[in-house]
Amino acid sequence: MEIIRGLHNIRPNHAGCVATIGTFDGVHHGHQMLLAHLRAKSDELGAPSLLVTFEPQPREYFGRKPVPARLTRFREKMHLLAATGIDRVLCIPFNERTRATPASEVIQHFLVGLLGVKYLVVGDDFRFGNNREGDYTALKAAGDRYGFGVSHMGTLTFDHQRVSSTRIREALGQGDFAVAEKLLGRPYFLMGRVVWGQRIGRRIGVPTANIRLRRFKTPLAGVFAVTVDGLGPTRQGVANVGLRPTITDPERRGIAKLADEEPLLEVHILDFDGDAYGRLLTVTLLRKLRDERWFPSLDAMRVEIQRDIAKTVEFFRTRPARPPGNRP
């Protein structure tokens, strides 16, 4: 899959495509249904498939409170999109210029002029242009005028509710991984490279692989039973996602002190004593064990982590075997 970063990197060979536009956070079942339709149209018309997305996401740019936690950072989203079989992703910076672009200019200069769109597939709630003035009706009229086809996908539902990133965030926040997996079409995972930490885990006998999540809000927090890929065979582990209050707030001065802290993913990998620094890991979260909490000492934290490890070992001992091909 080719990734095109910015409009200035569009080349003449990128023109003539079957396209879609959106944030695609999570690349969930609804997104996958739309992308399957995109690929089918791409094959039918003999034109490459192109997905247009934005960084930051529009709601992050506008900064309306509260800004939803991302399900996927950019790397994770590209990993998932590549697996769908689409040909290209165009990532456009979302800024004041992007926000203020009139819908007519989006159509004439971007869709027709730059991309030479042959067919456009959008979601049922798609809006575009300054003040969200453009809609499906405007796209259909433009398609008739400029000679490209347009279709929109109906809403995908699960248990009589719309499949959406919002609903997945709610399931993850509640620790309901079964519902989240059904909505996503796969178990929920986080990706990142292992970085150097303070080595506190090693000091208390529980070494961890530390992964910066590069976001200021996560859809979940706490301690989890996980699997880890990227170190050879899939391994089991226990992970903490959050702000590490025992370390970052040793005097327990409260959440205000932690407000600007970036959440961290720390994974203790069972039966592993190798070097993971710099490795790209995929950590799949399977069961929430407890909420993250403050401990009065490192020794008290160590005792609780040992309990977490015991719970994790028991979880995997009793967990039914999963069918092959069900991993991210």
Inside any domain, residue 308:
yes
Q: Give the pLDDT mean for 281-307.
A: 93
Q: Determine the pLDDT at residue 203.
A: 85
DSSP SS3 for 206: coil
Percent of the chain with pLDDT over 90: 71
Residue 106 has pLDDT above 90, yes or no: yes
Range of the domain at 84: 2-158
What is the C-alpha end-to-end distance of the chain, expressed in Å?
A: 17
Do residues 286 and 224 make contact, with C-beta atoms less than 8 angstroms apart? yes
CATH number, domain of 210, equals 2.40.30.30
Distance of alpha carbon 141 from alpha carbon 54, whole angstroms: 25
Q: Give the pLDDT mean for 116-137.
A: 92
Domain count, the chain: 2
Q: Determine the pLDDT at residue 199.
A: 78
Report pLDDT digits (tens) over 76-97: 999 999 999 999 999 999 989 9
CATH number, domain of 119, equals 3.40.50.620
**Of the residues 106, 138, 158, the one at which a domain ends:** 158
Tokens 């290209």 -> residue: 88
The DSSP bridge partners found for residue 212 are 264
Q: Determine the pLDDT at residue 256.
A: 47
More confidently predicted of 268 and 56: 268
User: Helix-strand-coil percent breakdown of the chain, rounded to 5?
Assistant: 35, 25, 40
Q: How far is CA 169 from the centre of its chain?
A: 11
Distance of alpha carbon 29 from alpha carbon 14, whole angstroms: 27
Inside any domain, residue 262:
yes
pTM above 0.85, yes or no: yes
Tokens 């064990």 -> residue: 289
DSSP SS3 for 7: helix
Inside any domain, residue 87:
yes
Q: Do both 154 and 197 map to the same domain? A: no
Tokens 């069972």 -> residue: 270
Do residues 273 and 235 make contact, with C-beta atoms less than 8 angstroms apart? no
Count of beta carbons in the 10 Å neighbourhood of residue 311: 16
More confidently predicted of 299 and 214: 299
What's the CA angle centered on 129, arms 124 and 130, to 5 degrees? Answer: 130
Task: Label residue 26 by pLDDT band (50, 70, 90).
Answer: very high
Inside any domain, residue 204:
yes
Distance of alpha carbon 297 from alpha carbon 265, whole angstroms: 21
Residue 155 has pLDDT above 70, yes or no: yes
- CA 32 to each of CA 27, 38, 124, 238: distance values in angstroms, whole numbers, following the listed order: 6, 10, 14, 30
More confidently predicted of 142 and 63: 142
Q: Determine the pLDDT at residue 274.
A: 87
Q: Determine the pLDDT at residue 217.
A: 84
Task: Label residue 322 by pLDDT band (50, 70, 90).
Answer: low
Do residues 29 and 180 make contact, with C-beta atoms less than 8 angstroms apart? no
Q: Determine the pLDDT at residue 131.
A: 87
Q: Do both 154 and 192 map to the same domain? A: no
Count of beta carbons in the 10 Å neighbourhood of residue 314: 11
Q: Do both 48 and 143 map to the same domain? A: yes
The residue type at 148: F
